[in-house]
Amino acid sequence: MVSFAQKDFYTSRFDFNEADTLRGALNKTRTCYDVLHYKLDISVFPESKSLAGYVDMKFRATEDFLTLQMDLFENMQIDKIVFPARDNRELAFKRRFNAFFVNLGEKLEKGSVETIRIYYSGKPVEAKNAPWDGGFVWSQDEKERTWIGVACEGDGASLWWPNKDHLSDEPESMDISIAVPNHLMCIANGRLVGSEDMKDDFKKFHWEVAYPINNYNVSINIAHYAHFSDTYTAQDGEELNLDYYVLDYNLEKAKEHFKQVDIVLESFEHYFGKYPFWKDGFALIETPYLGMEHQSGIAYGNQYMRGYLGGMIPRDMDWDYIIVHETGHEYFGNSISCNDHAEMWLHESFTTYMEALFVEYTMSFKDAVRYLKSQRYFITNKQPIIGPMDVNWTQWSSSDHYYKGAWILHTLRNSINDDEIWWDLLKSFHEDNRIKNLDSGAFFKHVEKKTGRNYDAFFEQYLFYPGLPELQFKVKRKGKKIKLSYRWEADVPGFNMPVTFFVGGEQQKVFPTSEWSTKTISCKKGAEVIFPNDLFLVEVNQNQ
């Protein structure tokens, strides 16, 4: 479903160019192949803030072709590209903005599987304000020792390693080998399978990722780390490895603080099923920036505080926002991933809603609503939640794809008004689509399947228009009867979301449309008519 109003909103405000299209669109030099595996093998040089090495990309041809597109930022140097299985024959390439085009020297046939190796080097972009601004973070710990991290969501993994930098094509697995000065440790995604001493006082760490992984989730963390481990036992009795890598002087603090991981994993298993990346384990890695959902190796920088650096959650709640939020992303963002950054609500809205579900699981529904209400103040309604497609656009002017998106799901739950259906809808959506790339339409269809009701107008209004629908209603009293009249004023013709009123404390479900409708309700004289603003994200206009 595409809204012309949404397209007009963005095209009238942004000038998209060829570089945007090369990065964000699937042209024929990208669709001609499917990535199967990456092997990233590099050395990191902290003193010069540089790196050098190679990437092997194994791929399958989806059609006959001669030339393919990959991506690497212009400031990084491509040293050469070769065919390892063809006597390391060197391949010609051309650069265009942050893309490069490799001529394979011969036409590959559909179905053939090949590997090319890209040797590269350079100084990657430094992040000005990670994780919101992508790049490497060259930092120091409290003892003035090297502390390095990288976060590149939005900007793209191609700011530091060559790949097909489009969300729709994840490798089936990945190897990550990183050499660093031997007094340091390098922690990456997946499982550590070994390390080896190298020449010039370097040590190489080998990590294996057993699952598909989106490119921006690939990360490395370099510091004087201390490691400790634990296990989480799932409902079926299977044990999950938990690994924690923290600055050595924070070891005892971390051992106590990270005990809350168990209840976080338990709550999300309850709602969505088992942790998706079981074979790779679960890890928290201390970073010099706040946090990121790096798959099976979550970046943790909340300084062992409650909430978001001590705030952003109600004062009577005591849990770590980064642990809850980034663990939620293992389900939405990492397991279920969108195909285009325009639809990042599939990552952020669902994960922000999972924060409220964590509160509901550990406290109550009333407390979950209270938590959601604390976030409602951040909703701006200034631009559509779904952005323009095919241009790798990430320039939201607010956090509506977080907070408004969570409220959209909360609103949908209360419009359905049947928690048995809701819990099944949520859990089955993840279980049916775990470790897949989706677009928004997959969720729209799933909601229709589970509810038996078409919610297309609902999603179009809330995701493709900036403003909220307005519920207009009138109340007329006569003795022990109330006439409740109602209608919707919305951008989308045919908007018809069911809502609930409380009349004398009793629920009354109504089905407003764009035309006035009336429901006569028998009740006690003087009964109050209340529309529950804490259950629905709408504008309310009560006409007397």
Give pLDDT tens digits for 261-310. 999 999 999 999 999 999 999 999 999 999 999 999 999 999 999 999 99
- Cα 479 from Cα 482, distance rounded (Å): 8
CA 130 to chain centre: 16
According to DSSP, the β-strands at 470-478 and 481-489 are antiparallel
**Which one-letter amino acid corresponds to residue 174?**
M
| Angle, CA 390 vertex, CA 16 and CA 298 arms, to 5° | 110
Q: CATH for 470-543, among 1.25.40.80, 3.40.718.10, 3.40.190.10, 2.60.40.1840? A: 2.60.40.1840
- Smallest CA-to-CA distance from 72 within 56, 96, 48 is with 96
Predicted confidence at residue 388, as pLDDT, reads 94
Residue entry with tokens 């559909």: 110
31 in Cβ contact with 7 (< 8 Å): no
- Residue numbers in the chain where pLDDT is lower than 50: 2
- Output phi, psi for 431, to 5 deg: -65, -40
| Angle, CA 281 vertex, CA 33 and CA 172 arms, to 5° | 10
- Cα 322 from Cα 300, distance rounded (Å): 7
User: How many CB atoms within 10 Å of residue 134?
Assistant: 25
62 in Cβ contact with 34 (< 8 Å): yes
139: exposed, middle or buried (Cβ count in 10 Å: 0-12, 13-18, 19+): middle
**Which one-letter amino acid corresponds to residue 186?**
C
Q: Assign 207 to helix, strand or coil.
A: strand
264 in Cβ contact with 230 (< 8 Å): no
Q: Assign 488 to helix, strand or coil.
A: strand
Which tokens go with 461? 């209004």
Predicted confidence at residue 395, as pLDDT, reads 83
- Smallest CA-to-CA distance from 40 within 224, 189, 201 is with 189
CA 96 to chain centre: 29
Per-residue CA distances from 93 to 68, 79, 108, 162 (Å): 9, 11, 16, 13
46: exposed, middle or buried (Cβ count in 10 Å: 0-12, 13-18, 19+): middle
23: exposed, middle or buried (Cβ count in 10 Å: 0-12, 13-18, 19+): buried
Predicted confidence at residue 479, as pLDDT, reads 83
Q: What is the distance between the terminal CA atoms of the chain, rounded to a whole angstrom?
A: 38
Q: What is the DSSP letter of 469?
A: P
Bridge partner list, 525 = none
**Is the torsion defined by CA of 329, 332, 333, 336 positive or negative?**
positive
> How much is the pTM?
0.96
Q: Report the half-sphere exposure of 540 (CA within 13 A, side-chain side).
A: 14
pLDDT in tens, 415-453: 999 999 999 999 999 999 999 999 999 999 999 999 999
Composition of the chain by helix, strand, coil, percent to 5? 25, 35, 40
- What's the farthest any 2 CA atoms get from each other in the chain? 92
442 in Cβ contact with 389 (< 8 Å): no
Q: CATH for 28-306, among 1.10.238.10, 3.40.50.300, 2.60.40.10, 2.60.40.1730? A: 2.60.40.1730
Predicted confidence at residue 8, as pLDDT, reads 65
Q: Which residues contact 94 (CB under 8 A, 6 or more apart)?
A: 100, 101, 103
Which tokens go with 181? 């000065």
Predicted confidence at residue 298, as pLDDT, reads 98
409 in Cβ contact with 355 (< 8 Å): no
If you write DSSP's letter for every residue of 82-144 in order, what string do you get?
A: EEGGGTTEE-EEEEETTEEEEEEEEEEPTT-EEEEEEEEEE-PPBPSSTTTS-EEEEEE-TTS
- Smallest CA-to-CA distance from 34 within 166, 152, 190, 160 is with 166
| Angle, CA 435 vertex, CA 433 and CA 437 arms, to 5° | 75
Domain 336-464 homologous superfamily, CATH: Neutral Protease Domain 2 (1.10.390.10)
**131 preceded by cis ω (within 30°)?**
yes
Q: Do domains 336-464 and 470-543 have the same CATH topology?
A: no
- Cα 134 from Cα 155, distance rounded (Å): 6
Domain residue ranges of the chain, discontinuous segments joined by +: 28-306, 336-464, 470-543
Predicted confidence at residue 383, as pLDDT, reads 94
Predicted confidence at residue 397, as pLDDT, reads 81
- Cα 426 from Cα 179, distance rounded (Å): 42
